[in-house]
Structures are given as structure tokens and as C-alpha cells.
Amino acid sequence: MSFTMHGVGVSSGIAIGHAHLVSHALLEVAHYEVPEHLVDAEVKRFSEAVGAVRADLETIRRQLPPNAPAELGSFVGTHLMILADKSLAEAPVKIIRDERCNAEWALKQQMNSLVEQFDRIEDEYLRERKFDVVQVVERVIKVLLGHPSQVAFEKQESGMILVAHDLSPADAIQFKQHQFAAFITDVGGVTSHTAILARSLNIPSIVALHRARDLICDGEVIIVDGNQGVVIVNPDKNTLTEYRLRQEQWEIDQQKLKRLKLTKAVTLDGMAIELHANIEIPEDVAQSKAAGATGIGLYRTEFLFMNRRDWPDEDEQFEAYRKVAETMKGLPVTIRTLDLGADKSANPDEERNCTNPALGLRAIRLCLAEPHIFHAQLRAILRASHYGNVKLMIPMLSTIAELRQARQLIERAKRSLRDQGVPFNEHILIGGMIEVPAAALRAEAFARELDFLSIGTNDLIQYTLAIDRTDDTVSHLYDPFNPAVLLLIEMSIRAADKAGKPISVCGEMAGDTRFTRLLLGFGLRQFSMHPTHVLAVKHEVLQSSLSQLQPVVKKILASTDSERIEPLLDKLNQ
């Protein structure tokens, strides 16, 4: 049966493929009683699942390349040891027999007991080993539930469309190494970090579908229209033909944009505009250069900290930052210091104690609270500055006191490098992000103390409108057209211009062509966006005349509600 679902399109394009349901196995475990005469068979089913996971892990260990980091082999070895331990290999069997329950339930109960024991350990390193236990149990439960193993998953064909209840940014970053056609989720907002990563993957993606994970079956043919936020399940022949034609036209349009790669971004009246790219990992630089970006305006370093059991040390960070700096060959590379917190956690299994993480210990607050982590990252960024045109940017500033405290720690890191004779750029530029209304209102004061500013529109909108941008239940209230938001952006650009300091926009508005001319009219001369949006924004720049924008821009700034702003913006973009 064919049916259609509507959600929020977060990455444009059209994909046609087969559904692959992503399991969060621990959430799917149900409890049921096993008849006494089938208990032995249930024990056998459990033992076979453990054996299958052991075989998978052994295969992964054998297939590790010779130059793979030693930590990978150690990681697999640790999981094999946990799997062989009596507490997981034998204790669930006793629970199955004593309680006559299904194997999944018995294993999960034993896991909960072990996690409680780990939580009582005072030593932090040992306490965090509970996450290894959870990961091993998740593997076994996936086998028991009949989901593909990770080994099988990695070998599956391209063209799959991932269907999940939710995907953490940590999940999404792993997908960069696979060839998926699209992904769709039940929950999420248009500017959640998972949505942002979807755009960086350059694949059609839709969130906030609510029941896609329940209604779609593995292997069903589905169409994902990221332009309209529509998912069509089991389309009929005519619909399939129509969407294949749309898909071809979309790809033709994208090929036409590629002709602009070597064209300089200059307005009709001769104003040069800088178009930079946002990246998450060093490998994204290739895509940025292919799009013709003239720099990296935002390197989100927190993704180096994800999907791992420990923090990356200084040397590992340095190598990643240096690789980007050297690959860009003298073009600017703006490295943002760690911005963990809110919907980005280093370990996705870790529980959050904060009721509202977006307002909690995140970004610069976290770095100032953990100076040893911040010190290692600052040293790594400073060391990388010797190998290219590196700038350092501090996220989520809200007070001048925070900025000054951060600058003191930067100076401390510089002194430690000088004492050791380690080379770095003594005059590295230090910038800050305008993401909090308090910072936007005091943008001129921040501009006086910094070398450059960058507006993070995603969080600025979230904090200005009190809307959790990861919550699909209020996503309809997330409004970049809101006059208060536009006023704060224009005010920040004007303040930086008055102080004679450069300012960019690195949030999602920078890559949204609906806002290109408006931001130009505000006085913005540097945009930073996902590489996939660079050519489309350049196309808008090339067709814009700054002098002709001003009358409409003034009317937009004078408007008091979004409903009046949207038609004016349409007029501006005609």
C-alpha cells in the first residue's frame, strides 16, 4: 500500500531507494515469559547471539588495516574481553532459567545491574567503562532482535535510505564513511546539529515525521523529497516515473551551478564577497575546495571528540588541525574551540543531568570549567597556526568577563609553548561568536576586544525566541524571519563595521539563498556555510546589486511582524 508522510525537509534533493531501519536495540527490548519446555532453546538462542557477536568482533579485528591507530585494536579487544566475562556470558543464562524470560530481557537486566555497579566506582576512568558494557550488550541484543550486524551493515549496497526514530550527531558523523542516499527521522528540528550534518553530507533528509520508524518496513521502496519535506512509501508506477524526472532535473541544476566554481563572488556593482565553508572533520576540506570556497569559516572541532571513550590528546588534535591548515594552502582556517553540550555529547550513551542542556554547561562555559581540556586544545590550535593561516574562535560568549578569562587561558597556552620552544603564530587572530542576545546587544564592546566576529544564527534564533531548536514539537515556532532576530543580526554587523572589525555569518542562514540579499543589504561581506551551499549562494551574489537592495532592506528592518517581512523578502529576491 502506498502512502505519504510530511515532515520538515532539512537537506534538499530527491532520493529514491530502499528503506533501512536503524535500530536502537535497547529501546526495543520487550519482556515476555518463555514456556518451561522452551527455556533450553532460549538459552541456546542467547549463546548463539553471543557467538555471532564474538565472530563479528574477531572479523573486525582481522580486517583492521596495518596503519590503523592502536586504539582501534585495543577497543575491539576490550569488547571481546567484556563479551567473554561471566557477568555477561553466564549470568543472563541464570536469569533466563530462574525467571523463564526472554534472552533480550535477561541480558538487559544484567546490563542494568552492571551499570549500577560501575556508577558506584570512585575512579572516573573505571566508572566510564560502563559505556563499553552498554555497547557490547547493544550488539548482542541487535542479533537477538534480528537486526543486521555492524559488519553486514558496512557491506550493504549504496542507495539505502536510513529510517530512524532519532539520530544523534555522533550517529550522523559516522555516516560520512557510507554511501547512503538519504535519511529520515521521527524527531528533530531544522537546525538541530543532526540536520546540519545532513546538509554537510549533501543528501536529502527529512526530520519530524513522527511515526516513520513504526510505519515503514525494511526494504520498502521510498521516495524522499527533501525540497518539499515529503516521504512517499511504496510509490505507484506513475509517481515513481514523475519523481525520477524531478530527480534528473535536480541533478542537472546542480551540475549547472558547478560552472560557477572558478567565478569570483562579486556583486553587480563590484563588491567582492568572501564565501567560506563550514567543516566537521579534516576530510571535509576536499568538498570545500571542490565547491570553490575561499576559506574555512568554521571548523567544528567537537566532532573530533565524539564516538570515543576518552578525550583526544593534544597531539591528536594538532595533527587534525594541521592537516586542514596545510591542505588549505594559506587560505584562512577559522577553528572554533570545543562546543560540546546541548544536543552534542561526546558519548551519546551518557545521561544528561541538566534539565535544559542548551542553557547549561556548554561551549565556552564547559571549557572554562575544564581548563585542562581547554589548555590541550588551545596548544594544539596554536601549534597548527605555524602551518597555515589559522584563526581561533570562541563560541557562545555572553559576557566580556568570559572573553577575558578565555584570553588569559590563551596567553597561558602561548607561554607554555614559548617555554618549550614550540613554534606558533604569535599574532594569531582571536574571534568570538555572537550566538546569545546578550552578546548581540553588546557586539560593539566585543568587537573592540576581538580581531573578528561571527554570528551563529542557529543559536541566536533559539535563544532570542526561547525555542529549543532540537524539539520538533515547537519547530514551527523557530522563525528566522522574526523581526527581533533580524534586528540583532543587523545590529551586530553594524557594530563590527563601526569598530572596523570583520564579521561573518556562519549559521544556517548563511547558506539559505532566501537570506543572501538581505544579509548583503545589512552590510555582510563574509558568509560561511556548508560546502554544498557555496555555489547556490554565489549565484545569488552574482545577480545582486547592493544599491538596489537598500530601500527594501530598510522596510524589512522597520517591519514589526514576520508576516510582513516574508513578502518583502520575496520582493527583494525577485
* DSSP-assigned states of every residue in 287-336: HHHHTT-SSEEEEEGGGGGSSSSS---HHHHHHHHHHHHHHTTTS-EEEE
Give the Cα separation of 148 and 142 in Å (integer): 7
Query: What percent of the chain has pLDDT above 70?
Result: 85
Angle CA 30–36–42, to nearest 5: 50
pLDDT at 155 over 90: no
Residue 148: the pLDDT is 56
Residue 239: the pLDDT is 95
Residue 174: the pLDDT is 56
User: Looking at the whole model, is its pTM more than 0.85?
Assistant: no
**Of the ranges 13-22, 84-93, 467-476, 509-518, which one carries the lowest mean pLDDT score?**
467-476
The DSSP-derived string for 133-179 is HHHHHHHHHHHHTTPPPHHHHHHSPTTEEEEES---HHHHHHGGGS-
The predicted-structure confidence for 524-558, as pLDDT tens digits, reads as follows: 999 999 898 999 999 999 999 999 999 999 999 99
Q: Domain spans of the chain?
A: 3-21+161-255, 26-146, 261-572
What fold, for 3-21+161-255? Answer: Glucose Oxidase; domain 1 (3.50.30)
Query: What percent of the chain has pLDDT above 90?
Result: 60
Give the pLDDT mean for 155-178. Answer: 66
The predicted-structure confidence for 194-232, as pLDDT tens digits, reads as follows: 676 677 677 899 988 988 988 999 889 999 999 889 999
pLDDT at 165 over 70: yes
Residue 348: the pLDDT is 43
Give the pLDDT mean for 342-354. Answer: 48
For 121, 566, 569, the CA distances from 514, given in Å and listed in that order, are 53, 10, 7
Residue 154: the pLDDT is 43
Most confident listed range (102-111, 132-141, 354-363, 412-421) = 412-421
Q: Quickly count helices (H) and strands (E) in the chain.
A: 25, 16
Give the pLDDT mean for 335-343. Answer: 80
Angle CA 544–548–552, to nearest 5: 105
Say which CATH superfamily domain 26-146 falls into: PtsI, HPr-binding domain (1.10.274.10)
List the catalytic residue out of 101, 147, 165, 506. 506
Residue 322 neighbours by CB under 8 Å, 6+ apart: 383, 384, 387, 388
| Average pLDDT of the residues of the chain | 87
Whether 3-21+161-255 shares its CATH topology with 261-572 is answered no
| Residue that has been written with the C-alpha cell 594559506 in this structure | 330
In 3D space, the residue among 517, 478, 569, 472 whose CA is nearest the CA of residue 185 turns out to be: 472
Q: Is 367 a catalytic residue?
A: no
Burial 220-241 (b: 16+ CB within 10 A, else e): bebbbbbeebbbbbbbeeeebe
What's the gap between Cα 529 and its chain centre?
13
Residue 349: the pLDDT is 43
Burial of 176 (0-12, 13-18, 19+ CB in 10 A): middle
Q: Give every strand in the sheet of 3-6, ordered side by side.
A: 3-6, 230-233, 221-225, 14-21, 160-164, 182-185, 205-207, 8-11
pLDDT at 350 over 60: no
Looking at per-residue pLDDT, the higher value among 253 and 166 belongs to 253
pLDDT at 490 over 50: yes
| Domain at 261-572, CATH class | alpha beta
Instruction: Return the DSSP state at 523.
Output: T
pLDDT band at residue 361 using 50, 70 and 90 as cut-offs:
confident
Give the pLDDT mean for 147-166. Answer: 63
**Of the ranges 282-291, 330-339, 355-364, 440-449, which one carries the lowest mean pLDDT score?**
355-364
The predicted-structure confidence for 502-533, as pLDDT tens digits, reads as follows: 999 998 899 999 999 999 999 999 999 989 89
In 3D space, the residue among 162, 179, 171, 153 whose CA is nearest the CA of residue 60 turns out to be: 153
Residue 192: the pLDDT is 64
274 three-state secondary structure: strand
Residue 29: the pLDDT is 81
Q: Is 101 a catalytic residue?
A: no
The predicted-structure confidence for 20-31, as pLDDT tens digits, reads as follows: 887 666 666 888
Residue 136: the pLDDT is 84
Beta bridge mates, 394: 432
Give the pLDDT mean for 424-446. Answer: 97
Residue 355: the pLDDT is 59
List the catalytic residue out of 20, 147, 165, 193. 193
